[in-house]
Amino acid sequence: MRRQRSTIRDVARRAGVSATTVSHTFSGNGVVNPATQARVRAAASELGYHPDVVASGLRRSRLGVIGLVLRPAVGPEPQELADVDYFPRFAGAAALTSLGHGYALMLVADPTVPGAPVTAYACDGIVVTDPVADDPLVAALRRSRTPYTLVGADPGDPMDPHVVGIATGVITERVLDHLALAGTTRPALIVGLDAIEWNIATEQRYRERMHDAGMPEIVLRVPERAGPVEVGRVADELMALPERPDGVYCLTSDHARGVVDRLGELGMRVPEDVVVVCGSDAECLRALAPTITAVDLQPEALGRQAAAALLRQLEPGLTIEVPDPDHGAIVVRESSRRGELLGSAAPGEKPLPA
**What is the predicted pLDDT for the residue at 95?**
96
Tell me the average pLDDT of the chain.
86
Question: Is it the case that residue 343 has pLDDT exceeding 50?
Answer: no
H or E stretch including 294?
A: strand 293-296
**Is 283 domain-assigned?**
yes
**What is the predicted pLDDT for the residue at 28?**
65
23 with 79, same domain: the answer is no
CA-nearest of 53, 16, 54, 51 to 36 is: 16
Q: 154 φ, ψ to 5°?
A: -70, 115
Q: Give the C-alpha separation, 7 to 183, whole Å.
A: 72
**What is the predicted pLDDT for the residue at 9?**
84
pLDDT-derived band at 35 (thresholds 50, 70, 90) equals confident
**What is the predicted pLDDT for the residue at 2?**
44
**What is the predicted pLDDT for the residue at 283?**
87
What residues pair up with 294 in beta bridges, in sequence order? 278, 331
Q: Give the C-alpha separation, 9 to 152, whole Å.
A: 49
Q: What is the CATH number of the domain that holds 238?
A: 3.40.50.2300
158 with 174, same domain: the answer is no
185 with 237, same domain: the answer is yes
Q: Which residue has the higher pLDDT, 209 or 3?
A: 209
Please name the amino acid found at residue 85: D
- Domains: count for the chain: 3
Tell me the percentage of the chain whose pLDDT exceeds 70. Answer: 86
**What is the predicted pLDDT for the residue at 80?**
53
pLDDT-derived band at 44 (thresholds 50, 70, 90) equals confident
Exposure b/e, 258-287, CB count within 10 A at least 16 = b: bbbbbbeeeebebbeebbbbbbbbbebbee
* pTM exceeds 0.85 for this model: no
108 with 211, same domain: the answer is no
Q: What is the pLDDT of residues 116-155, one digit of tens each?
A: 887 888 899 999 999 999 999 999 899 888 999 999 999 9
338 with 204, same domain: the answer is yes
98 with 242, same domain: the answer is no
154 with 185, same domain: the answer is no
130 with 226, same domain: the answer is no
- For residues 43-60, average pLDDT: 62
248 with 121, same domain: the answer is no
**Is 256 domain-assigned?**
yes
Helix, strand, coil percentages, rounded to 5, for the chain: 45, 15, 45
**Is 319 domain-assigned?**
no
**Is 1 domain-assigned?**
no
- In the three-class reduction of DSSP (H, G, I as helix; E, B as strand; rest coil), residue 246 is classed as coil
**Is 3 domain-assigned?**
no
235 with 177, same domain: the answer is yes
24 with 141, same domain: the answer is no
**Is 19 domain-assigned?**
yes
User: Edge-to-edge, what's the strand order for the sheet holding 104-107?
Assistant: 104-107, 65-70, 125-129, 148-151, 163-164
**Is 257 domain-assigned?**
yes
CA-nearest of 100, 106, 99, 93 to 67 is: 106
**Is 279 domain-assigned?**
yes
Q: What is the pLDDT of residues 9-31, one digit of tens each?
A: 888 888 888 888 877 777 666 77
CA-nearest of 171, 168, 176, 219 to 196 is: 168
- For residues 212-220, average pLDDT: 95
Range of the domain at 287: 168-297+328-350
83 with 214, same domain: the answer is no
